[in-house]
Amino acid sequence: MVRLSSARLVPAGALLALLFCGGLLAYGAGRGIDLTDEIFYLVWARDPEAYALLYQPFGYLLHPLYALLGGDVARYRLAGFVITAAAGALLGDSLAPEPAARLRFALFGGGAALAIYFPWIVTPSYNCAANVGAMLVLAGLATVLRSRARTSRVAAAAGIALGLCIAAFTKPPLFALSGAMLLVLGGTALRRDRARGGALLGALALAVPLIGLFLPLSRIPALLARISASQHILALPNTPLHLPIKILGDWAAVPPLLSGAALAMIGALALRRTRWVGGLGHAAMGLALVYLAMTVPETLDGGIPEFPGLALLLLAGGYAALVARGDRLMLVALLAAPVAVALGTFNNQWAQLDFSMAFPLLALFRLAADDPLRWRRRAATLLSLAATPLLLLAAAMAPYSLPDSIFAQAIPVRHPVTGSPLLVDEATAAFLNGTRDRAAGALLIDLSGTGPGVAASLGAKAPVLLWLNPATATWPDVVWARLSEKERADAWFVTPVLPLFAASGPARWLAAHPERYCRTALPRMIFWWEERALELWRPCAAPAPGAGR
């Protein structure tokens, strides 16, 4: 009988998973246009100076890649997949417990890294880039701690510096936490091994000129002031005082099963040297697995599983309490990475762990190599190998903010931001063809909360903020306060007004002056699994939508 962890079977499984995930993403690279988040990413990548208010400076990082590929969305996505898989392979290789295991760990890491693109947000974004940065930092850290070769340590320090640079432009809290970790580890290592300590501290120093390649260092103070002002003006809860409150508040959305798994995992890690660890560790794993199993029926019905990232993290944490013997520092880093990457994100902090499933999957795969129980080792290895293909397949069948599956994207259109050709589903094609340039050049305030793709497809310009996000009631007033009287009078609007925005200045203006505006119904479109019938309101003195087309 061939053991599941044998040198032949597991590498073959890892290779198949990598090829399946890579092939599925490559198939989808030229398909689908997300009118919500994707447009947000592309506008900032095309022009990092697009708007004065800025709370995520990732546009400076992504712009060179976007420009290099000529704004072609399909090639831009493919480049993101390759970069992500390469970073995952580096991290997997660095975690291998022995030289003979490096191939299977590299293959597994490359495939697991592609879980970043769940739930089918495949255009390069700050989320996927931040995870790539974290993978590079951890891969470099593992190499520095293990390798005795000077060239390997130098290369690892360069990788760490690049990861820090990426983190600085995508998730500043991740940059701060990573820098603090390296400072502590480097300072501690200097006492025992000057070469290793110097490599870690040198990586910190090297990150500074790398950041300067994307944005002149002389402009950094102004950028930080701009971000700080934007955080204050937009009332974002990402300050040191409010962020912990937000994180705790977001836990209210976590299912009870995962809350129980979290308590069991914390107890197992705290009591890992006592007789209680076995029960608590297995309880954490069992509750997480039961939750994942309960999401299967809804997923088969075309839904997207919620909180799989948190479930996998709790599963890996419980497993670590039972099994971890070597590489404890790296295992702790793998389990902490998803939380560090999620910090400072606008949305639910715990749901953001869905973008960072590569780390708990790598932890599970590494822990399985040390597990003395054959049945548990086989189960952990099989789960690790199957997770990413199953998650990406589920996401492809029910993509985030696309009306239909990736396999239904068959109608050729031009992307509203870049003009590059893509294939889309019938609903998206009808919406894009029915809205193209109907408000060309107009200043447009979208009160529907549906996403920046509406303005992009209309050919309009959203003032002040690219997207009036449907989670913050104050943002329409921020926009309205920064418009002149003439701009207010000339503004076009998209309705129906989101109830959250009903009391805002622009909504009250529109309600008070309906006689000034002429309405045009837009094609019905599905946003986040809900069909919306939007209307375009233009000043009646303005040219009719589509005039001169």
Under DSSP, is residue 445 helix (H, G, I), strand (E, B) or coil? strand
Report how far residue 18's alpha carbon sits from residue 92's, in angstroms, rounded to the nearest whole number: 13
Indicate left, alpha or beta for 106 from its phi (over 0: left) and psi (-120 to 50: alpha): alpha
* Nearest residue to 454 (alpha-carbon basis) of 34, 173, 13: 34
Does 482 have pLDDT greater than 60?
yes
**Mean per-residue pLDDT, 203-222:** 96
Could you report how far apart the first and last alpha carbons of the chain are, in Å?
70
Amino acid at 367: L
16: how many CB neighbours lie within 10 A of its CB? 14
Indicate the SS3 state at residue 539: strand
User: Which range has the worst mean pLDDT, 19-28, 52-61, 77-86?
Assistant: 52-61
- Spatial contact of 44 and 62, defined as CB atoms under 8 Å apart: yes
Lowest mean pLDDT among 43-52, 236-245, 419-428, 507-516: 236-245
The answer to whether residue 3 scores a pLDDT higher than 80 is: no
Summarised one tens digit per residue, pLDDT across range 153-170 is 999 999 999 999 999 999
List, edge to edge, every strand of the sheet that includes 492-495. 444-446, 492-495, 535-539, 517-521
For tokens 């690892």, the residue is 156
Per the model's pLDDT, the better-predicted residue between 349 and 488 turns out to be 488
Q: What is the mean pLDDT of residues 364-374?
A: 94
Distance of alpha carbon 384 from alpha carbon 362, whole angstroms: 8
Q: What is the CB neighbour count within 10 angstroms for residue 333? A: 21
Q: Which residue has the tokens 């836990």?
A: 251
- The chain-wide mean pLDDT, for the chain, equals 93
* 4 pLDDT higher than 60: no
513 — pLDDT class (breaks 50, 70, 90): very high
- By CB atoms closer than 10 A (0-12, 13-18, 19+), residue 220 is middle
Q: What is the mean pLDDT of residues 504-514?
A: 95
**pTM of the full predicted structure?**
0.94
Q: What is the pLDDT of residues 426-474, one digit of tens each?
A: 999 999 999 999 999 999 999 999 999 999 999 999 999 999 988 889 9
Rounded to the nearest 5°, which phi and psi values hold at 132? -60, -45
Mean pLDDT, rounded, for 393-411: 95
User: What value does the mean pLDDT take over residues 411-424?
Assistant: 97
User: Residue 211: its pLDDT value, please?
Assistant: 97
Q: Is the pLDDT of residue 258 over 90?
A: yes
**Separation of alpha carbons 462 and 261, rounded Å:** 44
Calpha distance 242→239 (Å, rounded): 5
- Tell whether the model's pLDDT for residue 251 goes beyond 90: yes
Q: What is the pLDDT of residue 7?
A: 62
pLDDT digits (tens, 9 = 90+) for 305-339: 999 999 999 999 999 999 988 788 999 999 999 99
Q: Give me the pLDDT at residue 547, please.
A: 54
The tens digit of pLDDT for each residue in 291-304 reads 999 999 988 888 88
The tokens for 42 are 């592309």
What's residue 1's pLDDT? 38
- For 36-65, write each residue's pLDDT tens digit: 999 999 999 999 999 999 888 999 999 999
Helix spans in 171-276 (H)? 172-192, 194-214, 220-233, 242-250, 256-270
Q: What is the pLDDT of residue 546?
A: 63
Determine how β-strand 444-446 pairs with β-strand 492-495.
parallel
pLDDT of residue 6: 58
